[in-house]
Amino acid sequence: MNLTLRIWRQSGPEDKGRMVTYQVDDVSPDMSFLEMLDVLNERLILAGEEPVAFDHDCREGICGMCGMMINGVAHGPQRGTTTCQLHMRQFSDGDTIDIEPWRAQAFPVIKDLVVNRSAFDKIIAAGGYITAPTGSAPEAHSVPVAKANADAAFEAAACIGCGACVAACPNGSGMLFTAAKVTQLSLLPQGQPERYTRVIGMVEAHDEAGFGGCTNAGECTVACPKGIPLNTIGRLNRDYLKATTKQADNTPGS
């Protein structure tokens, strides 16, 4: 099939950037979206034009490196699918496809479709872990975990940190990402000791990074390739409320 692409080109962080139109012909429906861009890039290079920069690595939908707005939808039209796993059979001959980078204050554009998502790492560094230095662990079977909790924790842990939730959110909020980690760890017995300091640290880091506030709009969970459920945010809110009221009375152990 033949396609018209309008792609955001921006040579560097300082450049203003613009949409540029390209024609790509003979696209096979079996190609992945990124393979289609590879074909375009090969052609651009031979024509002496700089190829379109985009992030990707595993191309298996698990590393979370890829991601772009495709016709205004994060990761494109197929639900539960990362950009790298999107295949061209989702499009038809003659389509025009707009391709833009994630847009958020906290995710500044580096070049073309490549953005800086290190704000996510900062949120994790601010509490998204269980303190368990190597060597200090008890025997794995000493603490059983109810299967239902283990499964729900797993569901939240499936987040790949791609940032589609932020890109899709009308408020540019990173709450789904933050809530996914809070939920995973607060469902496990191992996560209890740090439960309340964790949520405060992570929410503060989230706000500091310049993400917007959550208004429960629900766009994030629709865009999320891993289907992280919106109720994780409820769990975060609950922990956060408890944490802030606990913090207020300042009694250790309360």
Partner 1 sequence: MDLYIEGDPIADTKAPDGPIETRWERRRFEAKLVNPANRRKMTVIVVGTGLAGGSAAATLAEQGYKVKSYCYQDSPRRAHSIAAQGGINAAKNYRNDGDSVHRLFYDTVKGGDFRSRESNVHRLAEVSVNIIDQCVAQGVPFAREYGGLLDTRSFGGAQVQRTFYARGQTGQQLLLGAYQALERQVGLGNVEMNARHEMLELIVVDGRARGIVVRDLVTGEITTEFADAVVLASGGYGNVFYLSTNAKGCNVTATWRAHRKGAYFANPCFTQIHPTCIPVSGDHQSKLTLMSESLRNDGRVWVPKAKGDDRAPRDIPEDERDYYLERIYPSFGNLVPRDIASRAAKAVCDQGRGVGPGGLGVYLDFADAISRLGRKAIEAKYGNLFEMYERITGEDPYEVPMRIYPAVHYTMGGLWVDYDLQSTIPGLFVIGEANFSDHGANRLGASALMQGLADGYFVLPNTIANYLAAGPFEKLDASHPAAVEARRDVEDRIQRLLAVNGDRTVDSFHRELGQIMWDHCGMERSEAGLRKAIDEIRALRDQFWQRVRVLGDGDGLNQSLEKAGRVADFFELAELMCIDALHREESCGGHFRAEHQTEDGEAQRDDENFSYVAAWEFTGTGKPSVLHKEDLKFEYVHPTQRSYK
Partner 2 sequence: MAVTGIILVLFLIAHMLGNLKVFTGATSFDHYAHWLRDIGKPVLPGVWFLWIQRGVLTVAVLAHIAAATVLARRSRAARPVRYAHRPKVQGSYAARTMRWGGVIILLFVIYHLLDLTTGHLNPVGDPSKPYSNVVADFAPERWYVTLFYTLAIVALGFHLRHGAFSAFRSLGQQTPRGEARARAAALVFAVALSAGFLVVPFAVLTGLVS
- Residue ranges binding partner 2 (CB under 8 A): 6, 8, 19, 69, 71-73, 98, 100, 103-106, 168, 170-173, 210-213, 215-223, 229-235, 237-239, 241
Question: Of partner 1, ligand FES, partner 2, none, which one sits near residue 81, judging by CB under 5 to 8 A according to partner kind?
Answer: partner 1
Strand pairing class (96-100; 3-9) = parallel
Which of 204, 60, 41 is closest to 119 using CA atoms?
A: 204
Smallest separation (angstroms) from partner 1 to the CB of 173: 19
Contact code string over 139-178 relative to ligand SF4, x by CB under 6 A: --------------------xxxxxxx----------xx-
Which of 11, 18, 29, 164 is closest to 95 using CA atoms?
A: 29
Reading the block at residue 185, the tokens are 């760890």
CA distance 197 to 182: 11
- At 75, which amino acid appears? H
Residue of 46, 93, 249, 250 interacting with partner 1 (CB under 8 A): 46
Smallest separation (angstroms) from partner 1 to the CB of 216: 26
Residue with token string 């300091």: 197
By CB under 8 A, is residue 253 in contact with partner 1? no
Residue pair 238/159 in contact (Cβ under 8 Å)? The answer is no
Q: What part of residues 102-141 is at the interface with partner 1 (CB under 8 A)?
A: 110-111, 114, 116-118, 120-121, 124-126, 128-141
